[in-house]
A and B are shown apart, each in its own frame.
Chain A
């Protein structure tokens, strides 16, 4: 029986984009992530959920080495992007972050024009040879950010002048401008109203045709709506990782059940 909605929800790719093995993270003496093994698939939205302090953001930040900037933070274990260890000494974190882009909780456009916000990454990574190519990258990125139609007539206006939802889509456009392979999103909608949230979520659903998207969210309903895979973190452990429909209708671990039904956390 051909079940349309299943096909829609099905994970399009079984290819592993990021593999984490026995990952431990310490902040000084605090063991923040304990023995996490996870395989994040390409062209899939993976949601990390869990109560505050469960380690979901910490783990997300390991995936593009954002934790390098914290002196007391120590990461052990392997994190492989397309089979290559991202913590290898030869890997340049700046190059890595171009491949593994990030969108933050609060929209943080640079205090520059809309155009320059998007052009910044391609410029520093030398992705355009001339102005025409750069124009093209900017337009393509703003289209992928689902904001082109709203800003095409005012590309010179400051990015900070946009509404919150528009700023967040601008930041997503900025993140995709460097042709990343993975997009990490840390609570990308928590500062947005419901309509802007729905627009960003629709954008995320669209982005997965091209990227592997990993999203950390406090909103379980958001995880349910946008993701195909869900990982539940609790006290630094990855408690359960599975297909989103299964996690939200019939989770295996009683801790997952307690959390998603509002009994712990």
Chain B
């Protein structure tokens, strides 16, 4: 990617504007992840409600980005690095929107879980897992803005940790449910939350892959490590 400016300065302004929307959306999504996780840990129904409401702003930004991008393609006919940037904007915003949805779903389950008995320590473990994903997202967006393929590759590698955390929680919830059937209802919700966070990690990974495509013009070659083994667990 070249850092030189276009002769058509309005083109630069359009590209900057659409990237500014991505960063704004990224900020809202980071806040949603942590808000959802904190509301679960502290059993804060009000905060959970805020996260659910906040998803509308994230969705609205995605609509705006889609519209602006369609306009940019129609009016500017971007090529080469500009084209990869415009394509990456569309994909990154779609991934961010999905992460926002998962946060909203966590907040929704939280409003149910505050009325159930606590399952020892699992909410804190989930918050740590969410924190990990949130840091990955921040780094992926930093890598995006700085065009830093190395940092993006690092983010992709870190998704393995998130998968490991999910595996651990999966087994833990199985044990809790086996021990006491009264835990089943809460554990089912907690398991979905863990799965949501694990899926968020996958979307962050997809964003990081977009960064590598944007910078190098090629998709990351090696298939990324997959450490989620729960699909083979009985």
The residues of A with any CB-CB pair to B shorter than 8 Å are: 1, 3-6, 8-9, 195, 198-199, 201-202, 205, 221, 224-225, 244-245, 248-249
Task: Tell me the dominant secondary structure on chain A's binding face.
Answer: helix
Where the two chains meet, the residues of B that have a C-beta atom closer than 8 Å to any C-beta of A are 6-11, 13-14, 16-18, 20-21, 60-61, 64, 68, 70-72, 74-77
Given A199-B7, A205-B9, A1:B64 Cβ within 8 A: yes
A46 CB → nearest B CB, Å: 15
Report yes or no: B18 in contact with A5, Cβ–Cβ below 8 A: yes
10 tightest Cβ-Cβ pairs between the two chains A and B: A5-B17, A198-B7, A4-B17, A248-B74, A224-B75, A5-B14, A249-B74, A245-B71, A8-B13, A202-B7
Please tell me if the beta carbons of B68 and A5 are within 8 angstroms of each other in the complex: yes
Residues of A within 8 A of B68 (CB): 3, 5-6
Interface SS of chain B:
helix
**Bound state CA distance, A149 and B12, in angstroms?**
23
Question: Which B residues touch A205, using CB under 8 A?
Answer: 8-10
Given A1-B64, A4-B13, A244-B75, also A201-B20 (CB < 8 A): no
Contact A248 B64 (CB under 8 A): no
Check B71–A249 contact: CB distance below 8 A.
Answer: yes
Starting from the known contacts A205-B8, A224-B76, A225-B10, 15 additional A-B residue pairs (CB-CB under 8 Å) come to A3-B68, A4-B13, A4-B17, A4-B20, A5-B18, A195-B7, A198-B7, A201-B8, A202-B8, A205-B9, A221-B77, A225-B8, A225-B11, A245-B71, A248-B71
CA distance A9 to B14 in the complex (A): 9
| CA A248 to CA B77, docked complex, whole Å | 11
Whether B8 and A198, one on each chain, are in contact in the complex, defined by CB atoms closer than 8 angstroms, is: yes
Nearest-CB distance from B23 to chain A (Å)? 12
Q: Is the CB of B17 within 8 A of A224?
A: no
> Closest residue of chain A to B71, judged by CB?
A245
Q: 28 A-B contacts, Cβ less than 8 Å apart?
A: A1-B61, A1-B64, A3-B21, A3-B64, A4-B13, A4-B16, A5-B14, A5-B18, A5-B72, A6-B68, A195-B7, A198-B7, A198-B8, A201-B7, A202-B7, A205-B8, A224-B74, A224-B75, A225-B10, A225-B11, A225-B75, A225-B76, A244-B75, A245-B71, A245-B74, A248-B71, A248-B75, A249-B74
